[in-house]
Each structure stands twice: as structure tokens, then as C-alpha cells.
Structure 1
Amino acid sequence: MAESPLILLAAGGTGGHLFPAEALGVELIKRGLRVRLATDARALKFSGLFTRDMIDVVPSETVRSRNPIALARTGLMLGYGMLVALNVVRRLKPAAVIGFGGYPTLPPLLAARVLGRPGIIHDANAVLGRANRFLSTRVNAIATSLPGVLDRDPALASKATTVGTPMRPAILAAAAVPYASPEVNGPLRLLVVGGSQGARVMSDIVPPAIEKLEPALWSRLILTQQVRDEDMARVRAVYDRLKINAELAPFFSDLPAKLASSHLVISRSGAGTVAELAAIGRPSILVPLPGAIDQDQFANAGVLAKVDGGLRIPQNEFTPDRLASEISALAAEPAKLTAMAVAARGVGRLDAAERLADLVMKVAGI
């Protein structure tokens, strides 16, 4: 009996890229297809659908500066990755190659084009990322998470389909948990995360903000915070001194469940994070990563801020005083938190994996 068609998924090695790829992989397997993942070495630390024997590591490098030496090094690494990707695509003969953003997707998608295999890119951001922008004219179809991303480019908009951000099974399970409003004097569950790589600004701002809260609120807090190893001692010292009930770790493998149990989330506004907050329906205070060329995180946070599902605070305004004020106001008004949860959930999409799988099968001719 002939083997079922293979779909090659390509993603950068961070959660924001890998999790949607995993979600699509789960859906494609349900439909009887085979999947493999082409990515960089960072992905090997993530657990989930893709076991080591399902992964092809393709060398890659990100454009980090305009320094000629750095650009040359990046070009050489991407060139080497292209040779590896050509061998992978030639060997696997995938029915289609699907990229989820990040420079590690360039070699597999370009190899697919050279070898005549259909290519699709998915972008979870409110603006197209640099790697996807480069690939956009070289693929058969573009899937976006949000409507209107390509409205200013009719040529690209004609091959774009809005599908949402595919959600892995753990997020779908969390989305089934209804939001439970905090009681006026009851526990307040606060989750602080900084994306899959962590964020030092959270360690710099959140502890002194907590210290500025009324002492009566300290005893109510159940705080869960992602903290880098190098920041752990100083953050823990503050919370121990204030006798805050705090769980600190560099990484949470059960983050979807923690999102579901939270009353308020403080976070960066990466595309994956914003999509998950919307899918689960949780209030948030979002601090976009500053200095990004595309200002993608600022645009992502705007999706929730526009519907009053989250508060967007630029990093230069994200001070201990401002954060303490926002937490205090929300803690005193549980109805506001509930309204934010409902608003966030209103822009969430839970069927994105199915929609993207439909597009993949159409483009692949399956």
C-alpha cells in the first residue's frame, strides 16, 4: 500500500513559531497524513508532537545587524542551510512545505520552490514578518491569523487566506475552562510571562510594582512568574520579603493550564501569546517588545486593546508606579476583569488548525 502524503512543516525554533506548526501537525495526522518538521537546533528542547526522529535540523541564522561581517556570516549560514534543505526536500518529496515564520523557514521554502514543490507561509502577526515578507512572492499561498494584514498589497492579498493561529491541544483544553472572576477579597491569580525566551523587563518592573501595592493585596496574590535564571535570586528576594505566594521558574511546560487558571496575565505581546490569550479569553496587560523594525508586537497588542480585552502599555511607560496602579484598579473591580475576558475571547479562533489544514490540502492537491 502506498504511503500517505507527507507535509513538511518549517518553523523557527521558538514557541511562537513551533506551537502553530505543532497544532497543524496534529490536525494533519488526524486526517491521515504524515508530517515532519524542518527547524533549527533550538527546537530540540521543546517537547510535544515532534519527537527527535520527526525533525530535520536545517542550519540557519537570523539577520541581527547591518555589520558587513555579520551579514556575510548570515549569508554563508543560510547558504549552507539551503544545501541541507535541498537534500531534505529531495529525499522526502513532500506534497507541500508550510513555513511558520523565522529565518529557519527560508531554506526549506526556497528549496521547495527550486524543486517544484508547493509552498505556503503562515504569519501569526498583525504585520508580515521579515522572513515571510521575503518568501511571500515565492510561495503558492499565504495564510494569516488576522484579517487585513495584506490589504495594502493587492498582489499578495489575492493569494491570502485568513485562518487564525492554529492552537495546540493544550490550548484548546484550556479554552474549555470558563473564566472565574476573582472575589472582591478573595485570591487574585496573577501570571507574568515574557515569551518563550523570557523578558528581563518583567523582572525589573513587576517586583517593585508588587511592592507598591497596598499590603492588603499582598496576601491575596497568587503569583506565577517566568524569570530567567540570572534574575531569579533578586526577584525571589523581593517576594520572600513581602511574603508573596509566588511560583518562579525560567520556563513553564504547563503554561496553557496556568493561563486558564489566571485572573490577569502580564506579558509581552508576541503573536502566539496574543492568539492564546484570545482563544482562552483572559484579561491581560501587554508590554510590546520595543525597537522591533516591524513594530509587530505593538500591532499584536492592539488587537486586544482595540476591543478592551487587554491593556497595551509601551515599555517606556511600563513603570512600577503605572503597573501597580493598573493592578490595583483591576483587583478592585472584578467585573472589569470579567468584561475583558469576554472581549478577548470574542476575537479568539479555535478552528484555525482545521482552516489551515484545509488550505494545505487544497494547495497540495490532496
Structure 2
Amino acid sequence: MHTNAPLLIIAAGGTGGHMFPAQALAEEMLARGWRVRLSTDARGARYTHGFPSEVEVRVMPSATFARGGALAKLAAPFRIAAGVIGALAAMLRDRPAVVAGFGGYPAIPAMAAAWALRLPRMIHEQNGVLGRVNALFAKRVDRVACGTWPTALPAGVEAVHTGNPVRGAIRERAGAGYIPPGDYPMSLLAIGGSQGARILADLVPAAVAELPAPLRAHLRVAQQAREEDVERVLRAYRDLGMEAEVATFFADVPRRLSEAQLVIARAGASSVADISVVGRPAILIPFAAATADHQTANARGLKEAGAAVVLAEDGLDAGRLAEHMQAILGDPDRARQMSAAAVSQGRPDAAEALAGLVEALAGKDEA
């Protein structure tokens, strides 16, 4: 990469929800001849395995006031200050053309340094409600981009709807041909966010057990689960006489999505974006404890389009989940319509739209 190429610093936190769209923008900016540096913390660095090797990863100290004991909360401002000082020094040495924040507390040092140096800066919010860090910077940046529309914004803040950027491997499968359910092997994919979800471990195998035997006989299940849940989920499927793939993380979610007849998932912004772009019928179970119930907001577009059934986790049981699974897997026409409706909600060009904002901020926009 040419050292006088413009530099984009991406500031992002340590969950897949923040890191997948950050990775998508990094891929797009590299393709446009930019240098890209990721500013995150030690936790975020664990999610960088999918980033292109040309992306330089800088680990900056950061902290949250929302977790940990009294001592951790006391130490938080000092850790954040150390991170900001480190980010300021790095930006003075190698001045970025733009700094783009994707939320999460590890984004604080780079965003605060960019604000202090008055560098061109923007944030991208993945969810239908601003996260705490993005809410902090929303009035202190030049542009606010939103992945979910509409997004609840502070008074006086205007935003651009770009959609949520998806990784290249998802974009390659945009609108992939859908095989509706039938009397042949069908794929059920259950994904629960970066680390799986306890409720899916509890409910999905139990719901599969309640499906009619002829339908269940055709089902192939791949399910993401937390490490402590993997063995019991596997056992539940074995007890049904089913072979199932159960793992804490699937590296090939794009392929599995494109092959699925039905997806059961949380309503994290990245999951919703991936499901929309590939175009698959979904049953979404928003995480009830999500800040400001943002996962319900994320799911709204797919629900209103008729692409997804949205079930509140409060009071949800295996019987009710099984009813909805059977209603989709037993109705090929409905499943086909849901797939098409999902595609209508997809924004496969979101990374390009976001990259356009970056270049416009840097004064490199040709238009």
C-alpha cells in the first residue's frame, strides 16, 4: 500500500455487531486505494481475524462504566484517558483523512482524539437506537450514517441511511437463489449473535422435537451455541435421532445462510443485514435486555415487509416456536414470498454508500 495514500481510521468495539460492518468498510476502502487502520481494544482485537491483512490493527486502552466492580469503574476514566493520549499521538504522527466510528466503548479514544484535533469524522450506527458511545458523539461529528431506518436520533441530529455494510462473502451471495422447503433435505440455521444465545439453546432443539416426524426427518440443523451449551444441545438432537452441527462460531455463515430454508436468529443488526442481503425467511427473537430494546427496532423492517416472524422472548416456549417453524417449512409458497421480501429489504451496496461518505468528508468526492 502506498504510504501517501489517504488514511482512514476505523474505531470499533469488540462485538461482531460493530466489527462486521467495520470490516466491510475496510474492504471497500482498501479497494479504493486507501490505507486503513483499525483502532480497538484488546477485546476487539479478538474479532479481527476476518479483516484483510492490509488493515493495521492498533490496540488502545479503553473501558466502560457499565460493567465491572467499583475498582474497575474508578479505573475507567484513567484507562480512557490513556487511550485518548495514545490515539492523539498516533494521529499527530500519521494524520488520518477521516476517522469513522462504529460504536462500542473501544471506539472512544480514536473518536475523542479526532474531535480534539477537529479531523473529518463520522459515526455509523448499526441499530435502530443509538448505542451509548455513538449517542455521545452524534453531535460532535460531521456525518451520522444509519444502518437501520428509521433510527431514533437526538434532537437536531440528521442522518444518512446507508444500510448496514455486509462482508464481501455475504455480498457475493446477495439474492442467492432460494430453494423453498419440500420433501428433501432442508437446512435450518440457528445463529445467536457473536457468542450464541442461551434462549436458542433452550428452545430450538425442543421446538424441533415438536415438529411432525415427516418434517423433522428432512431437517438438517446447524446451530450456534455458547461453549457451555454445546454438549447439551448436541445431546438433545442425538436423542431425536438427528445429526446436527453445533458450534460456538461458524466461520462460513455466508454459505450456510445461502443454503438455508429457514433461519432462526437474534435480531442483531449484522444478522438482520446478512439475512436481508442473502434473502432468507427468518424467525427473529430480539434480545429482551438489549439497550432501549434496539433489537426489536432492528427487526421492524423485515417484519413489516413480511420477510420475518418476530417473537418476543418473554413467555416464548418451544410449542409456539414450533408452530411458526412448521407454518413456514410446511408452506413453500409462503417461504418463497418471505425470501423475496427479505431481498427487497437488503442493502448490498451499503459499504459503497458508506465509502462514498468517507470520500466526500475527505474532499475526495468526484461529484
The counterpart of 1:81, out of the listed 80, 83, 88, is: 83
Pair 1:245 & 2:243 matched: yes
Code of the aligned partner of 2:285: V
1:224 alignment counterpart: 222
Of the three residues 264, 267, 277, the one matched with 1:266 is 264
Distance in 2 (CA, whole Å) between partners of 1:321 and 1:193 is: 19
Change (3 A) 1:66 1:22: closer
**Any residues of structure 2 matched to 1:118-133 within 5 Å, and which?**
118-133=120-135
CA RMSD in angstroms comes to 1.9
Structure 1 match to 2:141: 139
Return the alpha-carbon distance in structure 1 between the equivalents of residues 70 and 228 of structure 2.
Answer: 32
1:38 aligns to 2:39 (yes or no): yes
> 1:166 aligns to what?
165
Structure 2: distance between partners of 1:56 and 1:108: 10
Q: From 285, 288, 291, give the equivalent of 2:289.
A: 291
Q: Deviations over 1:152-188 (max 9, x none)?
A: 73x211xx211111121100112152111122x2222
Instruction: Give the unaligned 5+ runs of structure 1.
Output: none
Quote the residue 2:116 is aligned against: 114
Aligned residue number for residue 310 of structure 1: 308
Residue range with higher mean Cα deviation, 254-263 or 213-222: 213-222
Q: Which letter does structure 1 place at the counterpart of 2:318?
A: P
Query: Is this contact kept in 2: 1:221–1:245, CA < 8 A?
Result: no
| Alpha-carbon distance in 1 for matches of 2:340, 2:65 | 39
Shift of 1:317: 3.2
CA distance in structure 2 between the aligned counterparts of 1:54 and 1:65, rounded to whole angstroms: 28
Is contact 1:82-1:107 (8 Å) kept? yes
Q: Residue type matched to 2:174 in 1?
A: A
TM-score, normalised via structure 2 length: 0.93
**Residue 14 of structure 1: CA displacement?**
1.5
Whole-Å separation in 2 of the counterparts to 1:264 and 1:359:
35
Residue number among 197, 210, 213 corresponding to 1:212 in the alignment? 210
1:359 aligned residue: 357
C-alpha change, 1:34 and 1:267, in structure 2 (3 Å) is same
Q: What's the counterpart of residue 101 of structure 1?
A: 103
* Equivalent-residue separation in structure 2 for 1:53 and 1:20 (angstroms): 14
CA shift, 1:32, in A, is 1.2
1: CA distance between counterparts of 2:125 and 2:224? 26
Cα distance in structure 2, aligned partners of 1:53 and 1:114: 24
- 1:251 and 1:210, CA in 2 relative to 1: closer, same or farther beyond 3 A? same
Between 192-201 and 80-89, the greater mean CA deviation after superposition: 80-89
Amino acid of the structure 2 residue aligned with 1:149 = T
Cα deviation per residue 1:118-163 (whole Å; 9 max; x = unaligned)?
110001111211110111011111111233325673x211xx2111
Kept in 2, the 8 Å contact 1:64–1:70? The answer is no
The Cα of 1:84 is off from its aligned counterpart by 2.2
Distance in 1 of aligned mates of 2:60 and 2:119: 18
> Please, which moves more after superposition, 53-62 or 120-129?
53-62
Cα deviation, residue 53, structure 1 = 6.8
Q: Distance in 2 between matches of 1:106 and 1:152?
A: 19
Measure the CA separation in 1 of the matches of 2:293 and 2:99.
Answer: 28
Cα contact 1:287–1:318 (8 A) shared by 2: no
Contact 1:150/1:156, CA 8 A, preserved across alignment = no
Please state if 1:8 is matched with 2:6.
no
* Ranges in structure 2 where 5+ consecutive residues have no aligned partner: none
- Residue by residue, what CA displacement relative to the aligned partner does 1:82-115 show, whole Å, maximum 9, x if unpaired? 2222222222211110011111111101101112
Normalised to the residue count of structure 1, the TM-score between the two structures is 0.94
Q: Could you tell me how far apart the structure 1 residues matched to 2:256 and 2:65 are?
A: 34
Note closer, same or farther for the CA distance 1:64–1:197 as it changes in structure 2 (3 Å cut).
Answer: farther
Alignment deviations for residues 295-349 of structure 1 (CA, whole Å, 9 cap, x no partner)? 1101111121111110111111321111111112212111111111111111111
Distance 1:192 1:85, change over 3 A: same
Report deviation, 1:68. Answer: 5.6
Partner of 1:90: 92
Q: Is the Cα contact below 8 Å between 2:262 and 2:329 reproduced in 1?
A: no
Aligned length: 362
Partner of residue 325, structure 2: 327
For 1:152 and 1:306, the matched residues in 2 are separated by 25
3-state DSSP class of the match of 1:85? Answer: helix
- Please tell me the residue identity of whatever aligns with 1:359: L
Kindly state the Cα deviation for residue 201 of structure 1 after the two structures are TM-superposed. Answer: 1.1
Q: Name the CA distance, whole Å, in 2 between partners of 1:50 and 1:106.
A: 23
Q: Distance in 2 between matches of 1:148 and 1:206?
A: 31
Amino acid at match of 1:122: H
Does residue 18 (structure 1) correspond to residue 19 (structure 2)? The answer is yes
